[in-house]
Amino acid sequence: MEYSGAVAFIRKSDPLMETHLADFIRDTSTGKEAEAILRTCVHCGFCTATCPTYQLLGDELDGPRGRIYLIKQVLEGETPTQKTQLHLDRCLTCRSCETTCPSGVKYARLLDIGREIVDAKVPRVGVDAALRAGMRNVLPRAGVFGTAMKLGQMVRPLLPRAIKAKVPPLTSAGPLPDTATHSRKMIALAGCVQPSMYPNINGAAARVLDRLGISMLHAGSAGCCGAVRFHLGDPEAARDDARRNIDAWWPLLEAGAEALVMTASACGVQVRDYGHLLQDDPDYQHKAARVARLTRDISEILTAESARLQAILTDLPPPDAASKQMAFHSPCTLQHGLQLRGVAEKLLTAAGFALTPIADSHLCCGSAGTYSVLQAEISQRLRDNKLAALLGPVTSSRRPRTIASANVGCISHLAGGTEVEVRHWVELIDRRLTGQV
Amino acid sequence: MMSIQTPAEGADTFPLPSRESDRGRGGENQTNSPVGADDTLLCVTTDIDTALAHSAEQDQNFASIHHATLFSRLKKILPQGALLQVKEDLAPYECDGLSAYRRIPLAVALPEDEAQVVAVMKACYEAGVPVVARGAGTGLSGGAMPHEQGLVLSLAKLKRIVRIDKYSRTAVVQPGVRNLAISEAAAPFGLYYAPDPSSQIACSIGGNVAENSGGVHCLKYGLTVHNVLRVRVVLADGDVVTLGSEALDSAGLDLLALFIGSEGLLGIATEVTVKLTPKPQFAQCILASFDDVRRAGDAVAAVIAAGIIPAGLEMMDQPATRAVEPFVKAGYDINAAAILLCESDGTKEEVGDEIARMKAVLEGCGATEIRVSQSEAERILFWAGRKAAFPAAGRVSPDYYCMDGTIPKRRLADMLIAITELEKKYGLRCMNVFHAGDGNLHPLILYDANVPGELERTEAFGAEILKLSVDFGGTITGEHGVGFEKINAMCEQFASDELRIFHGIKAAWDARGLLNPGKAVPSLHRCAEFGRMHVHGGQTAFPEIERL
Amino acid sequence: MSSTTIDEFRQQILQRQPLRIRGGGSKDFYGSVPSSMQESNLLDTRMHSGIVSYDPSELVVTVKAGTTLQALELVLATRRQFLPFEPPRFGDDLSAATIGGAVAAGLSGPRRATVGALRDFVLGLRLMDGVGRELKFGGEVMKNVAGYDVSRLMAGSMGCLGLILDVSLKVLPMPMHEATIGLALDQQPALELMNQWGGEPLPISATCWADGLLMIRLSGAEPAVRTAQQRLGGDLVEADQAAQFWASLRDGQHAFFAQTSPHATLWRLSVPSVTPPLEVGGSSLIEWGGAQRWFHSEASAEEVQTLAHRCGATATAFRYAPDRTQVFSPFAPGVLKLHQSLKHAFDPHGIFGRGRLYPEI
What average pLDDT does the segment A213-228 reach? 89
Q: What is the mean pLDDT of chain B?
A: 87
User: What letter would DSSP give residue B406?
Assistant: B
- Fold category of A315-433 in CATH: Rossmann fold (3.40.50)
Q: For residue A404, what are the β-bridge partners?
A: A328, A423
For residue C217, give the H/E element and its range: strand C213-220
**Which residue out of B87, B99, B399, B458 would a mutagenesis test of the A interface target, given it has the greatest number of A Cβ atoms within 10 Å?**
B99
φ, ψ dihedrals at C45, nearest 5°: -90, -5
Closest chain A residue by Cα to residue B394: A103
User: What letter would DSSP give residue B179?
Assistant: H
CATH annotation of A13-121: 1.10.1060.10
CA distance B323 to B332: 11
User: Which chain A residues are Cβ-neighbours of B391 within 8 angstroms?
Assistant: 42, 44, 102-103
pLDDT tens-digit map of A58-107? 999 999 999 999 999 999 999 999 999 999 999 999 999 998 888 889 99
Looking at the structure, tell me whether residues B200 and B336 fall in a common domain.
Answer: no
At A165 the pLDDT is: 60
CA distance C96 to C92: 9
User: What letter would DSSP give residue A52?
Assistant: H
**Which residue out of B228, B241, B248, B506 would a mutagenesis test of the C interface target, given it has the greatest number of C Cβ atoms within 10 Å?**
B248
Give residue B228's domain range.
161-278
Is residue B27 a part of any domain in this protein? no
Looking at the structure, tell me whether residues B310 and B233 fall in a common domain.
Answer: no
At A1 the pLDDT is: 26
Angle between helices B412-426 and B454-471 (to 10 degrees): 150
Does B contact C via 3+ CB–CB distances below 8 Å? yes
| Closest C-alpha among A69, A91, A87 to residue A78 | A69
CATH annotation of C177-250: 3.30.70
| Domain limits, chain A | 13-121, 142-302, 315-433
Q: Which of B458, B485, B512 is where one domain is finished?
A: B485
The minimum CA-CA distance between C116 and chain B, rounded to whole Å, is 7
- Flag whether residue A395 sits within 8 Å of chain B, measured between CB atoms: no
pLDDT tens-digit map of B488-502? 999 989 999 999 999
The minimum CA-CA distance between A42 and chain B, rounded to whole Å, is 7
A435 torsion bin: left (phi>0), alpha (psi -120 to 50), beta (else): left
CA distance A14 to A71: 18
- CATH code for position B130: 3.30.43.10
φ, ψ dihedrals at A335, nearest 5°: -80, -35
Pairing relation of β-strands C122-128 and B312-317? unpaired
User: Which chain B residues are Cβ-neighbours of C142 within 8 angstroms?
Assistant: 218-219, 406, 438-440
- Chain C neighbours, 3+ Cβ pairs < 8 A: B
Across B33-129, the runs of DSSP E, i.e. the strands, are 83-84, 107-109
Closest chain A residue by Cα to residue B187: A359
B247 torsion bin: left (phi>0), alpha (psi -120 to 50), beta (else): beta
pLDDT tens-digit map of C306-351? 999 999 999 999 999 998 988 999 988 999 999 999 999 999 999 9
φ, ψ dihedrals at B483, nearest 5°: 55, -135
Query: Does position B329 have pLDDT exceeding 50, yes or no?
Result: yes
pLDDT tens-digit map of B431-464? 999 999 999 999 999 988 778 888 889 989 999 9
CA distance C24 to A6: 48
**Which residue out of B348, B500, B501 would a mutagenesis test of the C interface target, given it has the greatest number of C Cβ atoms within 10 Å?**
B501
CA distance B24 to B511: 11
| Closest C-alpha among C1, C166, C4, C174 to residue C73 | C174
- Flag whether residue C130 sits within 8 Å of chain B, measured between CB atoms: no
Looking at per-residue pLDDT, the higher value among A256 and B534 belongs to A256
The answer to whether A142 and A195 have CB atoms below 8 angstroms apart is yes
Looking at the structure, tell me whether residues B123 and B167 fall in a common domain.
Answer: no
Query: Does position C162 have pLDDT exceeding 80, yes or no?
Result: yes
Scanning B472-531 for CB atoms below 8 A from C yields 473-482, 486, 490, 493-495, 497-498, 501-502, 504-505, 507-509, 520-521
| Closest C-alpha among C208, C251, C209, C257 to residue C86 | C251
User: Can you tell me whether residue B102 is helix, strand or coil?
Assistant: coil
Q: Which of B133, B154, B175 is where one domain is finished?
A: B154
At B31 the pLDDT is: 37
Instruction: Produce one character per residue of B348-379: b if its CB has 16 or more CB atoms within 10 Å, e if not.
Output: ebbbbbbbebbbebbeebebeeebbbeeeebb
- Distance between the two ends of chain A, CA-based, in angstroms? 77
Q: What is the mean pLDDT of chain C?
A: 95
The minimum CA-CA distance between B239 and chain A, rounded to whole Å, is 25
Is residue B1 a part of any domain in this protein? no
Taking an 8 Å cut-off on Cβ atoms, the answer to whether C150 and B258 are in contact is yes
CA distance B477 to C146: 6
At A86 the pLDDT is: 96
Instruction: Produce one character per residue of A404-437: b if its CB has 16 or more CB atoms within 10 Å, e if not.
Output: bbbbbbbbbbbbbbeebebbbbbbbbbbbbeeeb
Is residue B26 a part of any domain in this protein? no
Query: Does position A6 have pLDDT exceeding 70, yes or no?
Result: no
At B52 the pLDDT is: 59
Scanning C95-114 for CB atoms below 8 A from B yields 106, 112-113
The answer to whether A197 and A408 have CB atoms below 8 angstroms apart is yes
The minimum CA-CA distance between A16 and chain B, rounded to whole Å, is 5
At B75 the pLDDT is: 97
- Fold category of C259-319 in CATH: Alpha-Beta Plaits (3.30.70)
At C150 the pLDDT is: 98
Looking at per-residue pLDDT, the higher value among B303 and B388 belongs to B303
pLDDT tens-digit map of A409-421? 999 999 999 999 9
- CATH code for position B291: 3.40.462.10
CA distance C270 to B44: 32
| Closest C-alpha among B387, B340, B327 to residue B200 | B387
φ, ψ dihedrals at B122, nearest 5°: -65, -45
Confidence of residue B58 (pLDDT cuts 50, 70, 90): confident
- Flag whether residue A258 sits within 8 Å of chain B, measured between CB atoms: no
As annotated, the residues of chain C forming the CATH 3.30.465.10 domain(s) are 2-173+342-346
- Distance between the two ends of chain C, CA-based, in angstroms? 33
Q: How many CB pairs under 8 A join A and B?
A: 149
Looking at the structure, tell me whether residues B249 and B285 fall in a common domain.
Answer: no
The answer to whether A189 and A225 have CB atoms below 8 angstroms apart is yes
Rg (CA), chain C: 21
Looking at the structure, tell me whether residues B195 and B133 fall in a common domain.
Answer: no
pLDDT tens-digit map of A320-347? 888 889 999 999 999 999 999 999 999 9
Looking at the structure, tell me whether residues B348 and B366 fall in a common domain.
Answer: yes
Pairing relation of β-strands A402-405 and A325-328? parallel
CA distance B155 to B244: 21
The answer to whether B370 and B363 have CB atoms below 8 angstroms apart is yes
CA distance A12 to A8: 8
| Closest C-alpha among B144, B82, B137, B152 to residue B112 | B82
User: Can you tell me whether residue A297 is helix, strand or coil?
Assistant: strand
Query: Does position B43 have pLDDT exceeding 90, yes or no?
Result: no
> Percent of chain B scored above 90 by pLDDT?
71
Closest chain A residue by Cα to residue B200: A46
pLDDT tens-digit map of C224-280? 999 999 999 999 999 999 999 999 999 999 999 999 999 999 999 999 999 999 999
At B32 the pLDDT is: 40
The minimum CA-CA distance between A11 and chain B, rounded to whole Å, is 8
CA distance C143 to B222: 9
Looking at the structure, tell me whether residues B285 and B412 fall in a common domain.
Answer: yes
User: Which chain C residues are Cβ-neighbours of B352 within 8 angstroms?
Assistant: 223
As annotated, the residues of chain C forming the CATH 3.30.70 domain(s) are 177-250, 259-319
The shortest CB-CB distance from B533 to any of A5, A10, A84 is to A5
Q: How many residues does chain C have?
A: 361
At A147 the pLDDT is: 58
Q: How many residues does chain B have?
A: 548
Looking at the structure, tell me whether residues B341 and B441 fall in a common domain.
Answer: yes
- Flag whether residue B435 sits within 8 Å of chain C, measured between CB atoms: yes
Q: Which of B259, B278, B297 is where one domain is finished?
A: B278
The minimum CA-CA distance between B285 and chain C, rounded to whole Å, is 17
For residue B415, give the H/E element and its range: helix B412-426
Looking at per-residue pLDDT, the higher value among A224 and B224 belongs to B224
Angle between helices B348-364 and C222-232 (to 10 degrees): 180
At B529 the pLDDT is: 84
Q: ipTM score here?
A: 0.97
User: Can you tell me whether residue A395 is helix, strand or coil?
Assistant: coil
Looking at the structure, tell me whether residues B355 and B386 fall in a common domain.
Answer: yes
Sorted by sequence, the CB contacts under 8 Å of residue A12 that are 6+ apart come out as B100, B101
Looking at the structure, tell me whether residues B366 and B480 fall in a common domain.
Answer: yes
CA distance C140 to C133: 21
The answer to whether C214 and C287 have CB atoms below 8 angstroms apart is no
Looking at the structure, tell me whether residues B364 and B466 fall in a common domain.
Answer: yes
Cβ burial, residue A188 (10 Å; 0-12/13-18/19+): buried
User: What letter would DSSP give residue B6?
Assistant: P
Looking at per-residue pLDDT, the higher value among B235 and A128 belongs to B235
The shortest CB-CB distance from B488 to any of A9, A59, A66 is to A9
Scanning B241-260 for CB atoms below 8 A from C yields 241-243, 245-255, 257-258, 260
- Flag whether residue B121 sits within 8 Å of chain C, measured between CB atoms: no
Taking an 8 Å cut-off on Cβ atoms, the answer to whether B394 and A103 are in contact is yes
The minimum CA-CA distance between A325 and chain B, rounded to whole Å, is 21
Query: Does position A152 have pLDDT exceeding 60, yes or no?
Result: no
Taking an 8 Å cut-off on Cβ atoms, the answer to whether B138 and A80 are in contact is no
* DSSP assignments along C70-137, one per residue: HHHHHHHHHTTEE-TT-----SS-TT--BHHHHHHHT---TTHHHH--HHHHEEEEEEE-TTS-EEEE
- Fold category of C2-173+342-346 in CATH: 3.30.465
Taking an 8 Å cut-off on Cβ atoms, the answer to whether A45 and B199 are in contact is yes
At C236 the pLDDT is: 97
Looking at the structure, tell me whether residues B304 and B435 fall in a common domain.
Answer: yes
CA distance B434 to B315: 5
At B534 the pLDDT is: 46
